[in-house]
Amino acid sequence: MTKKQDALDYHARGRPGKIAVVPTKPLTNQRELSLAYSPGVAEPCLEIQRDEDLAYSYTAKGNLVAVVTNGTAVLGLGNIGAAAGKPVMEGKGNLFKQFADLDVFDLEVGSENPEDVIRFCQLLEPTVGGINLEDIKSPDCFYIEETLRKTMQIPVFHDDQHGTAIISGAALLNALEITGKDISQIRVVFSGAGAAAIATGEHYIRLGVQRENILMCDRAGVIYQGRSGEMDPYKARFANKTDARTIADALIGADVFVGLSVAGAVTGEMIATMAKSPIIFALANPVPEILPDEVRAFRDDAIIATGRSDYPNQVNNVLGFPFIFRGALDVRATTVNEEMKMAATRALALLAKQDVPDSVSALYGMRSVKFGAEYLIPFPFDPRVLLWVAPAVAWAAVATGVARDFIELDQYREQLEVRLGRAKGIMRGLINRAVADPRTVVFPEGDDARIIRAAQICVDEGLARPILLGKRETIESVAEQNGISLDEITIEDPVTSSRRETYARYLWERRQRKGLSLSAANQQVLNGNYFGSCMVACGDADALVSGVGMHYPETIRPALEVIGAHPNAKTVSGMYMLVFDKKVVFCADTTVNIDPTAEQVAQIAYAATRIVKTFGIEPKIAMLSFSNFGSVRRPETEKMARAAELLRERDPSLEVDGEMQADTALDPIMMREDYPHSALRDEANVLIFPNLAAGNIAYKLLMHLGGATAIGPILVGMRRPIHVLERGADVQDIVNMAAVAVVDAQERTQPAASWPYEAAPTAQTNFSKL
C-alpha cells in the first residue's frame, strides 16, 4: 500500500499540487501582448457580446470542465470538508487531461447546503463547457444533479453515480453473454445503497434488468417494502416485496452480486448459495467485499470483477468520465442524457470483443488477450477507448437532439488520435508488465536514500524483489532517518556475505588471463558493482540497476568484465527512451561507442529495434547524419548509408532508411514531398546516431530543452540484464529503470527468437560477426 510520507512528498515536491494552467498562445513580445490583452482582446469580447456561442471559438470554454465538490463524501474518508477534498479534485483534473486532453478547474465549494452548490454551479455556466460533480453526499447529490440538469444548458455529470454504472454495465452485458443468461430474467443483489449503487441499479434497469429482480442492501439489511428507518425517496425506488432481510438471504439463488460497500461485506459461504455461473462485481476499494481468491475457493464457475488493477476485469471510472465529457463537449451537448450513458456502456462492451492489438497487450505484460471471463471490459490504458467511447457519446448526443454541433465520425476519430498520442501509457505499461511477473533486482548502491526509497516503491507496487548491497547497519540507519520501511527488502553485505568466496572465484576464472589473481578478485568483489554483477551472472539475481552516485564508466566496467556482451551481439550500446506528451522517441547509441563502424551501427540499430518492439511499439528507424541520401559525400555520411543497407539485409521487414538529417527523419511531410523514394514512410521513432558525441548531446538537449522524460540508459547487448542509471537520478527514474530491468529479464526467459540477439543471421549479412 502507498505509504503516508510518499503520498505527502508526491503532492508537495516541486510546485505544490498536481495541476497548472498552461498558456496556449505565445506571449514573447509587445505585439503579442497587445493581442492577448489590451487593446486586442477587446475584439473577441465584442464578438462574444454579439453572439455568446462565439465563446467556443475565441476562448477555452469548449475544452474546459469544472470539477465541483463540497467535500461531504470524499472517497472513503467521509465528510472532510471542501479544502481537504482539493487533492482528490486535482487528481481528477489530472485524469481528465491525461486521458482525454480536457482542461479542468477544480472548484471546492465551502457549503454543505445543496442550494448553495446549485447556485454556484449555475453561475459557472458562462465559464465552462461542462461540470463534473464529485464527492457530494447522498441524497444531496441526486437533488443537486437533477436540478442542474433541468436549469443549465451545459453537460452536468455526477461521476460517483454514473461512472460505476456505465463501466460495470458493460461488464455485466459481456458477462451475461459468456454465461448465456437472459438479462430480463437475472436476479441482482447490491451491497450498498449510496449514490453509486442507486445509479447503477437504475442503469441496469435501462439495460434490461427487471426492477422487481433487484434487491438492494444497506447497513440495516435488505431494503424491502414497508421497512422503516434509514430510508429516502431514492432508496425507496428499490423497496421490493421479499422475505429476505439480510444480504445472506438475498444472495440465495441470485445471479449477480454488485458490491459498492465495504471490505468483508460478504463471505465465500454466501457466494456458494448463488445460482450457477454467478457474476461477482466486488467493487469496494482498496479492499473489495470479497477477494477473487476467496470466491474461487467456493465457486470455480464465477465470473469476477473488482475495482483493483492487480486482478482481471478492473471496473475503473477512468474508462468513463474523461471520454464521456470529451464526446459531449466536442458536439457542444446541452446535457448528458441516458442515451449518451447507454452509448458509452455499449461502446465499452463492444470494444472488449474486438481483437486486442499486441501493442495494448504489451502495455499489460501479456502476449495474447481475448474476450472472455477474464477480459470483460477494456484496460484503462488502452488508447482505443478514447476512439470508441467519445464518438459513441457524441453521436448519441447528435441522434437525440441535444448536440449543437455535428461531427463526421471518421474525421472525428482522426482528430482524437491527433489529440492524444500513446506516449502517456508507455511507462505505466512497462510497470504493469513488471508487476505481472516481478523479478529480483540487485542495487549495488544500497545505502543511498534514493535507492532505498525506490526499492520500497518496487515492493509496494509489486514490480520487483529488491536486494540492497551494503552494510546492514548503514542501510537501516539511512532508512530510519528517511522514514523508509525495509519490509520485504533483502540486504546483502559483500564483506560478510557467504557468497563472497564463490563470486571471487567466478570472477577470477573469468579474468585470470587478464592478469587478475585470486586474492585480487577477493578484494574486487567487495565493490558493490562487481558483487552485484556476479550475483546476476551466477543466477542469484535477475538484473542489476546501478549508477545513481557514480560516473558511467565506474558502473559499466564491472558489468562488462563480469558478464560481458552477448555472443550474438558483441557490440554493447546505450539507448534512451524519450517520452514526450504525444510521442516516444528512442535514441542510440548515447553512452558507449565513441565512433562505431557501419557494421557496429547496424548492430546497434538492430538490437535497439528488437527492444523497442518489446515495448509494444513498431520501430521506424532513421540513420542520422548531416546529409540527406547522399547530398554530401563524406566518410561519416557514407557510414550511415552503409549501416542502413546492412540493417535492411539483416531484416527486410524493418522500416529503415538513411542517411538523413534529423529534421527529415521527424517530418513525414518533408519526407514524402522531397524524398518520395524513402523507405521510411512515417515519422521516425528510433534515431540512430553516427557517433557518441552526436547521440549524447542530442538526447540531453531533448531532455532539458524539449521537455522529454528520459528513461535510460537502457543497456543493450549485454549477456544479462544490466542497466545503468544517470548520475543524480531521482527516485522515480530509479523505479522506471527497475521496471525496464524486470521486463528485460522477463524477455530473456521467453523463446530465443523473441529477444534481441538469438535470431539466426541471414545469408546476406553475418550479424554474429558484428
* Catalytic member of 61, 86, 92, 341: 92
What is the C-alpha separation between 595 and 601, in angstroms, rounded?
Answer: 9
Sheet holding 620-624, edge to edge: 655-660, 620-624, 686-688, 584-588, 573-579, 709-716
H/E stretch holding 68 reads strand 64-69
CA distances from 602 to 188, 516, 643, 648 (A): 61, 34, 5, 9
Estimate to the nearest angstrom the gap between the alpha carbon of 16 and the chain centroid. 22
Q: Which of 471, 710, 666, 671 is nearest to 578 (CA)?
A: 710
DSSP per-residue string spanning 558-611: HHHHHT-B-TTT---EEEEEEE-SS-EEEEESSSS-SS--HHHHHHHHHHHHHH
What is the C-alpha separation between 197 and 162, in angstroms, rounded?
Answer: 9
Strand-strand pairing, 103-108 and 303-306 = unpaired
What is the C-alpha separation between 218 and 197, in angstroms, rounded?
Answer: 10
What is the C-alpha separation between 72 and 138, in angstroms, rounded?
Answer: 9
Which DSSP symbol is given to 317? G
Strand-strand pairing, 221-222 and 214-218 = antiparallel
* Catalytic member of 37, 276, 370, 769: 37
CA angle 181, 306, 76 (to 5 degrees): 130
H/E stretch holding 623 reads strand 620-624
* Alpha helices, DSSP H, located in 51-192: 55-58, 86-100, 114-123, 140-151, 159-179
Phi first, then psi, for residue 680 (nearest 5°) are -85, 110
* Alpha helices, DSSP H, located in 624-707: 635-650, 662-666, 668-674, 692-704
Which DSSP symbol is given to 726? P
SS3 call for 635: helix
Listed as own residue / partner, the contacts of 267-272 with beta carbons closer than 8 Å and 24 or more positions apart are 267/294, 268/294, 268/295, 268/297, 268/298, 268/299, 269/298, 271/295, 271/298, 271/299, 271/302, 272/298, 272/299
SS3 call for 315: coil
What is the C-alpha separation between 233 and 611, in angstroms, rounded?
Answer: 58
Q: Which of 180, 350, 165, 163 is nearest to 255 (CA)?
A: 180
Active site residue 18: no
Cell 472488449, residue located: 352
Active site residue 92: yes
Q: Which of 716, 724, 696, 697 is nearest to 554 (CA)?
A: 724
What is the C-alpha separation between 16 and 446, in angstroms, rounded?
Answer: 29
The answer to whether 662 touches 624, Cβ cutoff 8 Å, is yes
CA distances from 690 to 253, 575, 599 (A): 70, 14, 12
b/e for 661-670, b at 16 or more Cβ within 10 A?
bbebbbebee
Which DSSP symbol is given to 137? -
Give the total residue count for the chain.
770
Strand-strand pairing, 464-469 and 490-492 = parallel
What is the C-alpha separation between 222 and 564, in angstroms, rounded?
Answer: 67
Residue numbers annotated as active site: 37, 92
